[in-house]
Amino acid sequence: MFNHRIRILSSLLIAFIIINLYGRLSKTPFISPIQAENIKNLLSNIKFNPNSLVKFFTIKFDSKEPELVSRLDKPNNSFIFPTVNQITSPPTITPKIGSGNPTPTIRLYPTNKIVPTTKPVATAIPKPTNTPKPTKVPPLPPITSDTRPGTSLEEIFQEVNKRACIPVPLLRAFQTQESGPFYNYNNSASITKIYNAYGWWKTGAGDPCFGLGYHSQTGVVPQDSVKAGTSCQNAVQPNAYDQGIMGVLQISQFEQDRTRKYTTPILPKNIDRRVLFDNALIFAYATRARVGTPPKNCDDWPADVIKVAAEKHYGACTDNYCANILKYYNQYK
């Protein structure tokens, strides 16, 4: 009888401890509801041996007090404990891995698009402007010095090209045909300086036979030279009318006078076809007049225009004159 009471008492005590422990654990913020439910199931499945509990809670009385022991054994003096109704709870289903409801997926919805407060204004496409017209190059100042510009035939022809708009290769082609064997195109600057100054035939600074300061038809130095009457070569056309042809491009007196209205703005003081620069300038304006409407390109002329210039300068295209001029032009351009 006594052992039976001890068993009841121990069962109540253990139930109290378990319920209290479960309540505290289930309210702990660090334990999730699922973990708390698992703890509950674990505790409910724990089994205790009553015999071990009886031994643990057995009250031993001293043998000197038999009266107390006898009283406890008597039915009238037994302890009366209140009846405790056993609370049964529905069995908890332990969740199986993979059988529970899946964790809901949180869908992140895009935020509302930011609507610009003002509509962007399209940039106006600039309209193409009119093609600018080339600025007219102002005319070069007139040459008043007796020393003309250029220290070589190449430089002299370039200076003429700037003022009369005639290709440099064309000037060189005519010089090769007319005076190439007598006056070297690549003569030094010291020689060029002598024959590119006005009056060199008067001062005796240069040789009229070397500087082509004689009439080509007769081969004789004219009267205004310090070596007047000197014969530089045999007469080419002894019975022909003497046109006074002189210089590296073989310009006549008529051509010098006829183009004077064009050359005066450039050489207002004086002009003579025995000066290298003056000879090329007279030839340039005479050639432009011969071809009628000269090309606007100052650096390159068509072959048919070059042929007209050669034919009118020589008088005909005989002796392969026109073909030679075109050949040299293509070679030098």
pLDDT at 63 over 60: no
Cβ atoms 220, 226 nearer than 8 A: no
Q: Within 13 Å of residue 9, how many CA atoms lie on the same side as its CB?
A: 16
Rounded distance between C-alpha atoms, residue 160 and residue 171, angstroms: 9
pLDDT for the residue 13: 76
In the structure, what pLDDT confidence band is assigned to residue 43 with cuts at 50, 70 and 90?
low
Token pair belonging to 96: 């199986």
Task: Please name which of 182, 177, 140, 176 lies closest in space to residue 161, comparing C-alpha atoms.
Answer: 140
User: pLDDT, tens digit, for every residue of 104-125?
Assistant: 443 444 455 555 556 656 666 7
Query: Is the pTM for the entire model greater than 0.75?
Result: no
Task: Please name which of 193, 174, 183 lies closest in space to residue 301, comparing C-alpha atoms.
Answer: 174
Cβ atoms 215, 246 nearer than 8 A: yes
Top pLDDT among 288 and 23 is at 288
pLDDT at 170 over 80: yes
In the structure, what pLDDT confidence band is assigned to residue 85 with cuts at 50, 70 and 90?
very low
Rounded distance between C-alpha atoms, residue 54 and residue 312, angstroms: 152
Top pLDDT among 67 and 119 is at 119
Domain ranges across the chain: 2-73, 153-332
Highest mean pLDDT among 64-73, 136-145, 235-244: 235-244
pLDDT at 83 over 70: no
